Amino acid sequence: MRLCRYGKAGYEKPGVIDGEGRLRDLSKVVDNIGPNEISPRGLKMLTRLKPESLPPVNGNPRFGAPYVGIGKFIAIGLNYSDHAKEAGLPIPSEPIVFMKATTCINGPSDDVIQPKNSTKLDWEVELGVVIGTQAKYVSEADALNHVAGYCIVNDVSERAFQMATTQWDKGKGFDTAGPIGPWLVTSDEIRDPQTLDLWLDVNGKRMQTGNTSTMVFSVAKIVSHVSQYMTLLPGDVIATGTPPGVGLGIKPSPVFLKPGDVMTLGIQGLGEQRQRVVAYSA
């Protein structure tokens, strides 16, 4: 099932994508898509629906983040060996965990605002893992049973901010640095999260191409690992790292985003995003 939220920012309605790729309105069934709806009980109820029986949504409405109630926005660094190499950093021996501020969450086609004093704005297409049931000290073998589904995340990064100290958060959590969506695709449709193609273009030029099979740490390993240090709650999302091709890694001279640039990105089975970079204005 492909769940989403659509409409004006702050006033989104719940929706679902039918088998023909058409948006259907869910607002007569649930008030919103949130932790209750993506719990096993909520998803069981929703999967009984026939999307084709719901009212179609005409036109091309804006998509927001596909669900509400994201308590934690967790991310994993250097989780593709080729990306670690291009960054000139060693392949990590255990997952590198950092946090993105929940205030950075953005719709999948909303503008990305270059923050004040930014000089090294960069892109990162990533597989997002959405938690559906509480996970605390879970085993790797059981980890995927706690996953409600998957989504696209663009882990937009400001490299000068990121590299100013050993802590990455300020380069990863500025406003609009976390486009999520367009859909939350339930785990029954993504049987193996380690076989998904990822890509990202800037101004129509392919910059990133990868597959989740080359992750250093699998989705199951990541969920299990993080759950050893913090309780994962329904609605928490984990961005699982990016394949090679980021602007920082371009040789001989890195390339960074500027106002007017357009990023388009996608993951197999999870849809596509598109963002235009705009300059900050007070």
Q: In what order do the strands lie in the sheet with 271-279?
A: 112-114, 271-279, 262-267, 197-202, 205-211
Supply the pLDDT for residue 132: 98
| Burial label, 94 (beta-carbon count in 10 A; 0-12, 13-18, 19+) | exposed
Supply the pLDDT for residue 91: 87
Supply the pLDDT for residue 279: 97
Identify which of 117, 132, 137, 10 has the alpha carbon closest to the alpha carbon of residue 62. Answer: 10
3-state SS class at 81: helix
Q: Which residue has the tokens 């909520």?
A: 42
Supply the pLDDT for residue 88: 80
Residue 269 structure tokens: 């089975």
Supply the pLDDT for residue 170: 92
- Provide block-wise average pLDDT over 10 residues at a time, the chain (282 residues): 97 97 97 97 94 95 98 96 81 94 98 97 98 98 98 97 90 97 97 97 97 96 98 98 94 96 98 98 86
Q: Which residues, listed in sequence order, are joined to residue 89 by a DSSP beta bridge?
A: none
Q: Which residue has the tokens 């980021």?
A: 246
The pTM of the whole model exceeds 0.75 = yes
Supply the pLDDT for residue 87: 79
